[in-house]
A = this chain, B = another copy of it.
Amino acid sequence: MSGPTIYDVATAAQVATSTVSRAFSQPGRVSADTRERILAVAAELGYRPNPHARALLSGKHHTVAMVVSDITNPHYFDLIRGAELRARVSEYTLLLVNAEESPRVEWEQIQRLSPAVDGFVLAASRLPDENLQQVAAQRPVVLMSRELPGLASVVLDHVEGCRQIVAHLASLGHRDVLYLSGPRNSWMAATRWAALRAAAEQVGISARRLGPFTPKVSQGGAAADGAVNAGATAVVAHNDLLAIGVMQRLAQRGLRVPEDVSVVGFDDIFAADVCSPGLTTLGGAHVDVGRAAVELLLTAGVRAPDDQPRVLLPTELVLRASTGPCR
């Protein structure tokens, strides 16, 4: 059932359990040959250290929990991949949990896992600020795609990215952009809208907003109809999924992209490259976001609460066929 323990190894190797323990955790503090003998015996017996027992005493679990606000969204998979990658490098285990877009579920999961992990990386957390602060008081936390003063975070530079989007659209002659907004409690949605609006003002064009929409393909229909009704010449959808849904509905209604309406998305998911027309979208190294978040968590050591790093990764406006000159 549950394999050999250090006792078995100690007996077989004729040493004390503590020596076996040291042979594994502090190789320096055991003489070379005893250690060798122990390792040999351990290997022969098929001994595996029990992570639970280890964690119980040491308080180190070698585990980080990643909470994703909606595991359904393909965009998050790059974050997950990056996080998994970085965790593995340090021989940490990545625990994946889905919050199902529900702050309550997110909170419960975090509370449940809290005593068993070294820290949390939260992807696009939907928790209110106060709750985030509470979590941070218990365990190291790194936010992804969200910022909060006092907490470490990794985000793509959407302010700059939105500026690029608006500049691109303006250069094509558009005098107005319509933002199809994401979920109400999404920090990202608020950030993008603010950035879009500011950028628009700066170049002297108007910015409007519609929504919120659940950022899925299926919601694209409603969003598209709203956009048409608003007489938009250029729409910026909260993410690529929504953008693709918008394009599908537009095509269905006989409107051409980009001749009648230009469409821009966010995330640069794989589908944005293969759909037609190809979707102009704000991409970035999402894998690096995941990677950096775990990196920050693992090195969280001794940073003061008022000295939490905010990592800003560059975005990249990927131009494809969905944007064109204003009609």
Cβ-neighbour of A270 out of B48, B55, B98, B271 (below 8 A):
B271
Q: Are B51 and A116 in contact (CB under 8 A)?
A: yes
Distance A38 CA – B190 CA, assembled complex (angstroms): 43
Give chain A interface residues in 70-112, CB to chain B under 8 Å: 71-72, 74, 77, 80-81, 84-85, 88, 91, 93-98, 111-112
Residues from chain B with Cβ under 8 Å of A115 in the complex: 2-3, 48-52
The interface on chain A, measured as residues whose beta carbon lies within 8 A of the other chain's beta carbons, has a size of 42
Residues from chain B with Cβ under 8 Å of A80 in the complex: 71, 96
Ranked 4 nearest A-B pairs via Cβ: A274-B275, A276-B276, A51-B116, A96-B96
Distance A115 CA – B84 CA, assembled complex (angstroms): 20
Q: Are B93 and A94 in contact (CB under 8 A)?
A: no
Residues from chain B with Cβ under 8 Å of A51 in the complex: 115-116
Residues from chain B with Cβ under 8 Å of A48 in the complex: 111-112, 114-115
Cβ-neighbour of A97 out of B74, B77, B93 (below 8 A):
B93
Distance A39 CA – B138 CA, assembled complex (angstroms): 21
- Report copies per complex: 2
A53 beta carbon closer than 8 Å to chain B: yes
**A271-B271, A275-B274 known; A97 and B97 CB under 8 Å?**
no
A59 beta carbon closer than 8 Å to chain B: yes
Q: Are A88 and B98 in contact (CB under 8 A)?
A: yes
Residues from chain B with Cβ under 8 Å of A6 in the complex: none
Residues from chain B with Cβ under 8 Å of A61 in the complex: 52
Residues from chain B with Cβ under 8 Å of A230 in the complex: none
Residues from chain B with Cβ under 8 Å of A84 in the complex: 71, 96-98
Q: Are B96 and A95 in contact (CB under 8 A)?
A: yes
Distance A277 CA – B270 CA, assembled complex (angstroms): 16
Give chain A interface residues in 15-66, CB to chain B under 8 Å: 48-53, 55-56, 59, 61
Q: Are B59 and A56 in contact (CB under 8 A)?
A: no
A50-B115, A71-B84 given. 11 additional CB < 8 A pairs? A2-B115, A48-B111, A49-B115, A50-B116, A51-B115, A52-B115, A81-B98, A93-B95, A271-B274, A274-B275, A275-B276
Distance A141 CA – B74 CA, assembled complex (angstroms): 27
Q: Are A95 and B97 in contact (CB under 8 A)?
A: no
Q: How far is the CB of A214 from chain B (nearest CB, A)?
A: 16
Q: Which residue of B lies closest to A247 (CB)?
A: B274
Distance A275 CA – B273 CA, assembled complex (angstroms): 8
Distance A191 CA – B138 CA, assembled complex (angstroms): 50
Distance A294 CA – B116 CA, assembled complex (angstroms): 22
What would 12 A/B residue contacts be, using CB atoms closer than 8 Å?
Answer: A2-B59, A3-B138, A48-B115, A50-B115, A51-B115, A52-B55, A72-B81, A84-B98, A94-B96, A95-B95, A271-B275, A274-B274
